[in-house]
């Protein structure tokens, strides 16, 4: 059923309507990555992506393992959301493709360190060959802060029961 709807969407007008975007997201969640990717490529030929389509396209490329296309798409993205930044660094770590990460891109990941444990882990993996004892101490302190927030959350949820 979803496949029929998606094929009809690709043949019709661009996906600017919220309901059509919702259908694409549902198809993505259902695992129809190739179909979603194909539809988004057709959309990309006709117009620029809206931000949600951009993220969805990056995700399909990432989860399909299309590294060269993913990195090419990364270079074309104007608004690099935190979600896309995390995907980019996962791709850098996972892919066998030699990628030069700019200082600007690395600073985007560093900006996420204070709010994302995942960003901390990615940063450690990304910089594992660099000896940065001072930064490791900061990341350990950040880990303690995340644990403090988690403990507070568990306490708050325990009191609400």
Higher pLDDT, 110 or 161: 110
* The pLDDT value given to residue 13: 47
Tokens of 44: 């990309």
Whether this prediction's pTM lies above 0.85 is answered by no
Residue 144, Cα to own-chain centre: how many angstroms?
25
Top mean pLDDT of 27-31, 78-82, 86-90, 92-96 is at 86-90
* The pLDDT value given to residue 137: 74
What is the band of 124 on the pLDDT scale with cuts at 50, 70, 90? confident
Q: What is the mean predicted confidence (pLDDT) over 75-82? A: 90
* The pLDDT value given to residue 10: 52
* The pLDDT value given to residue 14: 45
Tokens of 33: 């990555």
Q: How far apart are CA 2 and CA 63, in angstroms?
A: 20
What is the band of 131 on the pLDDT scale with cuts at 50, 70, 90? low
What is the band of 62 on the pLDDT scale with cuts at 50, 70, 90? very high
Higher pLDDT, 148 or 91: 91
Q: What is the mean predicted confidence (pLDDT) over 31-42? A: 91
Q: What is the dihedral of CA 22, 24, 30, 35, to 10 degrees?
A: 170
Q: How far apart are CA 88 and CA 70, in angstroms?
A: 8
What is the band of 104 on the pLDDT scale with cuts at 50, 70, 90? very high
Question: Is the distance from CB of 93 to CB of 122 less than 8 angstroms?
Answer: yes
Q: What is the mean predicted confidence (pLDDT) over 140-149? A: 80
Tokens of 150: 């988690």
């Amino acid at each position: 059923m979803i496949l029929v709807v998606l094929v009809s969407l690709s043949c019709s007008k661009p996906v600017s309507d919220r309901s059509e975007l919702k259908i694409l997201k549902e198809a993505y969640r259902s695992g129809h990555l190739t179909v979603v990717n194909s539809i988004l490529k057709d959309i990309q030929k006709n117009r620029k992506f809206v931000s949600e389509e951009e993220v969805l396209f990056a995700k399909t490329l990432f989860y399909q393992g299309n590294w060269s296309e993913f990195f090419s798409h990364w270079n074309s993205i104007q608004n690099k959301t935190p979600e896309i930044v995390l995907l980019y660094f996962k791709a850098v770590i996972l892919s066998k493709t030699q990628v030069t990460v700019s200082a600007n891109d690395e600073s985007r990941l560093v900006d996420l360190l204070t709010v994302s444990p995942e960003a901390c882990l990615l940063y450690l993996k990304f910089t594992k060959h660099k000896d940065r004892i001072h930064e490791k101490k900061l990341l350990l302190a950040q880990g303690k802060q995340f644990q403090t927030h988690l403990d507070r959350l568990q306490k708050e949820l325990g009191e609400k029961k």
